[in-house]
Structure 1
């Protein structure tokens, strides 16, 4: 008789240390935590960029905080109508104000804001106070230059005096020139009362090895001889200059809290509108931008895309764009909602507004669709 063989019982598997099955949860947890940490760092990490976004809009023909934004006295003025808007760009970030990677990424996605490197605008050692002071100085200067451009456009004479604003330490001018000295001539070329005096002064210094300045100090005339020094491959005598204007009219601006030079063209148009019969805009809503020089040349500005957005949001129907900003303006998301006209000079700007007011839009100088630098006509 044969005994039944014992039934085989499966053996339990020997425990295995360190298998994937036991370690996976811990690795997954650690990996997830690290991912969240990296995301948090990316979101909260300050980055060296600034965001440009649409800023407040001001009607230069209207009031601001209960007072006229621009008031002219000393000459006959005329009623105005419509709007001539100056546009601003709000800036997030920059010296003393951090923005984070998440903000920069969001700005790139929404398309209305522009991300720019801080170093492209400000040296690394610039402080917030430096920015505020610089903006205020630029705004004040742009107002004087706008008046000068308006006077020139209306053939009204004015005088301008070039003076020393500051003397650089250890420069050729130190100990010889003082702040406040009026610069009357340079190497026999008259400077006083010439709107191009600063340019004449700069060109003369660059083109000579010796400078003879005629100055006026405390009511007395003096002659100062200087030898320019080489600074970054350019000749310099070590002064900063400012222009002091004397106008036949008195113009007051009510623009607290706004800085920079880009409102010059709109200021000039508003002054002309107040000093000439008839409403330049014909009651229409015009907006625009552009730095301006005393001879009426309109220069490019920053933040053109944001200014188009601000203009359309406020309901403007005509946008005046400096020629060198055409490409950026035509790339703006809102440019199709507004008539865009290219301007090179204050005369262009005035003529364009008057033509638009009269309903003549077929011959406006326009920015080409591809932003190329040409002077196409028509819509």
Structure 2
């Protein structure tokens, strides 16, 4: 070999087939750290959703924190038995609270929780205090309306007045109407003692260029003329209103920390049960839900799946479902464990409970499983 001949450079041998090259410790460590980072993000990353979960259950015929949940005075009452459960929905997330991606995924998998976009329920500027205040107002209103519906069902007369609840600053009503004014008539249409007075007032304002209102202020009648203006894109005079009921009985509710209007139907049933002889349930365990109007119409609510889960967990054997919630109730994971009856009115609800108490389950109004006629019966 000559001195200038190129030197041979050794080439690393290929590893035997079936063997793997080992990763360097640094690469393996980096990969592991990234995995943990991605997991942490999945667990801790807030998402714009809120979760509906089964909430606490309250027996409207029983006690709450040592006192009756509903007590009636001013009329003869009767002992009762069994349970008429009002159902609630717990909410995770929403304004002022975070929901994390892992929670949302878990809720989708367990079948008893519902994941909904927060914006579908609340405007972006809604605060937690706004939600709490709104829920409290709705609960208070639902109690008054439940009493009114029960009085209607029992043919007990009552009166209702429409009051100014607040006046919007720099609105047509400012300086003319005051909080507490009793609205007697609008453009010649009687408002006082009409359960639909708020709707009549609102419709008249929308349809009129001039609104002539007769009010009662501190026992004196006054006539006031207003010109509706544009308030947040709506034709309005700038007042919020509330109903003030006068009932022949005094009903007290002991429900702290629960909001919303969905207990109205169960409240009304419990009041009727206390004011009529015998136990409406026959000692059985009934649960249900539904917003109610003074004339006894039962309206749909949110969280029906969660309420079915809560009812079955507590051992209820009959679930009263508003007609418009039937599809959601029948899709609930636990609905096969309980008898479901469809209700459209308070009278439907009372009749259904009484039939069930008597052992007549064959003729209960049922939720149609396939979109059939809502008047179809049988369970």
Deviations 1:196-248 (A, max 9, x none): 11111122222222111111112211111112224566421111100010000
**Is contact 2:214–2:224 with CA below 8 Å preserved after alignment?**
yes
Given the two structures, how large is their TM-score scaled by the length of structure 1?
A: 0.92
Q: Distance in 2 between the 1:270 and 1:210 partners?
A: 44
Quick one: distance in 1 between partners of 2:156 and 2:22? 90
Residue number in structure 2 paired with 1:261? 261
Q: What pairs up with 1:235-246 in 2 under 5 angstroms?
A: 235-246=235-246
CA distance in 1, matches of 2:182, 2:251: 24
Q: Which residue of 2 aligns with 1:116?
A: 116
Q: Secondary structure at the match of 1:115?
A: strand
Shift of 1:27: 5.0
SS at match of 2:10: coil
Following TM superposition, by how much is the alpha carbon of 1:312 offset from its aligned partner in structure 2, in angstroms?
A: 0.5
Tell me, what secondary structure is at the counterpart of 2:221? strand
What RMSD, in angstroms, separates the aligned Cα atoms of the two structures? 2.1
The answer to whether structure 1 residue 174 and structure 2 residue 174 are counterparts is yes
> 1:13 is matched with which residue?
11
Moved more, 194-203 or 103-112: 194-203
In structure 1, C-alpha distance between the alignment counterparts of 2:340 and 2:22, rounded to whole Å: 67
Structure 1 segment 54-203 matched on structure 2, within 5 A: 54-203=54-203
Does residue 308 (structure 1) correspond to residue 308 (structure 2)? The answer is yes
Aligned twin of 1:220: 220
* Separation of aligned partners in 1, 2:373 and 2:171: 41
Instruction: Determine if contact 1:319/1:340 at 8 Å carries over to the other structure.
Output: yes
Moved more, 119-128 or 32-41: 32-41
Mean Cα displacement is larger for which, 227-236 or 209-218?
A: 227-236
1:259-309 CA deviation, whole Å, 9 max, x = no partner?
111000000000000101111111111000000011111111111000000
Q: Per-residue displacement from partner, 1:303-322 (whole Å, max 9, x unpaired)?
A: 10000001011111100000
CA deviation vs aligned residue, 1:344-365 (integer Å, no higher than 9, x gap):
1111101111111111111111
Q: Which runs of 5+ in 1 are unaligned?
A: 1-8, 15-20
Q: Work out the CA distance in 1 between the residues paired with 2:284 and 2:22.
A: 75
Q: Deviations over 1:87-139 (max 9, x none)?
A: 01111111111111101111111111111111111121221111111111111
In structure 2, the CA distance between the partners of 1:373 and 1:100, relative to structure 1 (3 Å rule), is farther
> 1:158-210: per-residue Cα shift (whole Å, max 9, x none)?
00110111112222212211111111101111111111111111222222221
Which residue does the alignment assign to 1:4?
none
Distance 1:23 1:80, change over 3 A: closer
Q: TM-score, normalised by structure 2?
A: 0.92
Which residue is equivalent to 1:18?
A: none
Correspondence 1:288-307 to 2 at 5 A: 288-307=288-307
Q: Tell me, which stretches of 5 or more residues in structure 2 are unaligned?
A: 1-6, 13-20
Deviation, structure 1 residue 74: 0.4
Q: What is the number of equivalent residue pairs in this alignment?
A: 367
Do 2:231 and 2:238's aligned partners in 1 also have CA atoms closer than 8 Å?
Answer: no
> What displacement does 1:35 show?
3.5
Q: Following TM superposition, by how much is the alpha carbon of 1:376 offset from its aligned partner in structure 2, in angstroms?
A: 1.7
Secondary structure of the 1:147 match is helix
Q: What SS does structure 2 have at the residue aligned with 1:225?
A: strand
Question: Alignment partner of 1:108: what SS?
Answer: helix
Q: Distance in 1 between the 2:70 and 2:150 partners?
A: 13
Q: What is the CA-CA distance between 1:39 and the residue it aligns to?
A: 2.6
> Conserved in 2, the CA contact under 8 Å of 1:330 and 1:371?
no
TM-fit CA distance, 1:34: 2.8
CA shift digits 1:13-55 (9 cap, x unpaired):
39xxxxxx79876555444433332231122011111111111
